[in-house]
Chain A
């Protein structure tokens, strides 16, 4: 594989380097807050990347993607609550339940297209939201505190800030590598072909929905992993993580960074969450600034930030 020196790749490389060196900076300056913030950013970057797989490459505008954050998180939280603290059980369960949920939701939603697809994925995610809100044994509306983070034996200590950060970063890079392999594989080309012209793909012999569904399940499973990470990060999981506004946040990150660009959602997550952090220090109405900003991106930079960078020329 070759990476030509383009503005996009330079920015991506700088961001990767920055993310790798961040704990060092945090240690040297004693700025613990920045490590906490970026742990969260990295987790959301993984979730947004998984959404990008179906939204950007598959053309499926899922408005219920945060459901998997909650499902992954609750799998960890509920198992911990019931006394099963091993991550070797919690995490596979989180992934499996997310995959199963995606399979059912996908099989039903993918009968529809366009706005109907957006609405039906939203409806299912809201349904999941109300179901967990009603689980009084696990805190209902108030959420569930996780007293002990997932236990991976002597392998890794999730309570250590730096170790946990690198675990999240490893998951992000692993996820991106997986997505990169997928989008260039036979499967990935079919999914992108279906996004581009479904009728044509059927006419040359592809059962389009089968490929869409598998793609939908892969994305849900990856997002379930983000959910497991997020629950460990906050030591807490509540229905709020799967509320529709969270799904909206994920969509915004993808669009902001650049739909259908591998690294776009990472940039999107960084810009969105850093801006949120900075702006909310000045005003609680930070969304008033974020809104118009997003509007500008959608109107004038259709490929998001990565799209803008792609149009820049060096020298």
Chain B
């Protein structure tokens, strides 16, 4: 899927973000090609979530640029990037707790279906929004839980719902921040199977600690350490990269052992 001749869907150049004395994103450049599943790994504190937040617009970089689908989106607010086709899931589940599962998804579909300054008609009776929400729920296997309030869903179901919400915005690029976090073995396996299907339809940037999943899924892997890219290559090359092994120290065995 990696096509070096094509323009990247996402191009990050010389991104810098500091928090006080700490440089969480350190002159970071990154290209994500259309159609690839690009994993970002790195030890705790490597600045993965900080990077995702800058890509989606929740956090402004100190310097550097972000181009998405050929446009400079560096200064665009989060809601506008979402409209351009950039969707994210959150590392710590971030849903609408007072809403039912289907309402969570339907409102995401609503955000990308005309304007919402409509004050009179019952939004829950807009068939096309409900259908779009139902099909996103079906994709992640939550169709039977559509009317359950989010607060009553299990953690695993909430992770799946995060994904359904992102899918309902019909994204070109899906940024997934540790979708397996806190999932059990079977739940993780289901999530991997799901991502395997999704990658055929949408470009994905996957931040994940589960190395087994990363090496099974990724076309390319970028390794972050202290906010810097120390390697960016196909999984096999990353596995044998000396610098990556050094950075992970003990963790290198995890990397090698699981694959």
Interface, chain A (partner B; CB < 8 A)? 181-182, 184-190, 192-193, 195-197, 199-208, 211, 214
Q: How far is it, in angstroms, between the C-alpha of A208 and the C-alpha of B99 when the chains are bound?
A: 17
A206 engages B79 (CB within 8 Å): yes
Residue on B with the closest CB to A218?
B119
Please pick, from A187, A188, A204, the residue contacting B111 in the complex, using a CB distance under 8 A. Answer: A204
Q: Is the CB of A193 within 8 A of B107?
A: yes
B124 interface neighbour in A184, A193, A197, A201, Cβ under 8 Å: A184
Q: Bound complex: CA of A203 vs CA of B82, how far in Å?
A: 6
The reply to whether B94 and A199 form a contact with Cβ atoms under 8 Å apart is yes
* C-alpha spacing A186/B118, complex, angstroms: 6
Known: A186-B116, A187-B117, A193-B107. A207 touches B77 (CB 8 A): yes
For chain B, what secondary structure do more than half of its interface residues adopt (helix, strand, loop), or is it mixed? loop
> Which A-chain residue is minimally distant from B84 (CB atoms)?
A205
Q: Give the interface centre of B57, B83, B96 by most chain A CB atoms within 10 Å.
A: B96
Which residues on the B side are within 8 Å of A188 (C-beta)?
119, 123
A199 to B99, alpha carbons, bound, how many Å? 15
Of A197, A205, A214, most buried by chain B (CB within 10 Å of CB) is A205
Is the C-beta of B56 less than 8 angstroms from some C-beta in chain A? yes
Residues A193 and B122 in contact, CB atoms below 8 Å apart: no
Interface check B155, CB cutoff 8 A? no
- In the bound complex, how far is the Cα of B18 from the Cα of A183, in angstroms? 41
A149, B111: Cα distance in complex, Å: 46
B224, CB-defined interface residue at 8 Å: no
List residues of chain B with CB within 8 A of the CB of A204.
82, 87, 107-108, 111, 165, 168-169
Query: Could you say which of A185, A196, A208 contacts B118, with CB atoms under 8 Å apart?
Result: A185
Alpha-carbon distance A201/B96, docked complex (angstroms) = 9
- The 6 A-B pairs at the shortest CB distance, nearest first, are namely A205-B82, A205-B111, A196-B96, A186-B123, A202-B78, A186-B116
The interface size bin for chain B is 35 or more
How far is B110's CA from A211's CA once the two chains are assembled, in angstroms?
Answer: 14
For residue A214, which residues in chain B have a CB less than 8 angstroms away from its CB? 117
A-B contact count (CB 8 A): 99
Min Cβ gap A7→B in Å is 21
B19 at the interface (CB under 8 A from A): no
- Additional A-B contact list (9), CB under 8 Å, known A196-B96, A202-B79, A214-B117: A181-B120, A182-B119, A185-B122, A186-B123, A187-B117, A200-B96, A201-B79, A201-B96, A203-B88
Tell me which residues across on chain B come within 8 A of A208, comparing CB atoms.
79
Kindly state whether residue B112 has any CB partner on chain A within 8 Å: yes
Query: Is B121 interfacial (CB 8 A cutoff)?
Result: yes
Which residues on the A side are within 8 Å of B58 (C-beta)? Answer: 199, 202-203
**Chain B contacts of A185 at CB under 8 A?**
118-123
Least CB distance, A215 to chain B, in whole angstroms: 10
Cross-chain contact B116 with A211 (CB below 8 angstroms): yes
A205 to B113, CA, bound (A): 11
Please measure, in the bound complex, the distance between the C-alpha atom of A207 and the C-alpha atom of B78, giving whole angstroms. Answer: 8
Query: Smallest distance from the beta carbon of B174 to chain A beta carbons, Å?
Result: 12
Contact residues, B52-84 vs A (CB, 8 A)? 56-58, 77-80, 82-83
Give every chain B residue within 8 A of A201 (Cβ-Cβ): 79, 96, 107
Determine the distance from Cα of A181 to Cα of B122 in the docked complex, in whole angstroms.
7
The answer to whether A205 and B79 touch across the interface, beta carbons within 8 angstroms, is yes
**What CA separation (Å) do A207 and B108 show in the bound complex?**
13
Please name 7 pairs of A and B residues whose Cβ atoms are closer than 8 Å in the assembled complex, sorted by A: A186-B116, A187-B118, A189-B124, A193-B107, A203-B56, A203-B87, A204-B168
Contact, CB under 8 Å: B95 / A197: yes
B98 close to A (CB within 8 Å): yes
* Residue B184, interface by CB 8 Å: no
Cβ of B97 < 8 Å from any Cβ of A? yes
**Residues on A with beta carbons closer than 8 Å to the beta carbon of B123:** 184-186, 188-189
Interface centre among B78, B96, B116, B123 (most CB of A within 10 A): B116
B26 contacts A by Cβ under 8 Å: no
Q: Does B103 sit within 8 A of A, measured CB to CB?
A: yes
Cα A211 to Cα B117 with chains together (Å):
8
Chain B nearest CB: distance from A264 CB in Å? 16
Residue with the highest number of chain A CB atoms closer than 10 Å, among B77, B121, B123: B123
Q: Judge whether A189 and B95 touch: CB under 8 Å.
A: no
CA distance A78 to B118 in the complex (A): 35
Task: Chain B residues near A184: list those with CB within 8 A.
Answer: 122-124
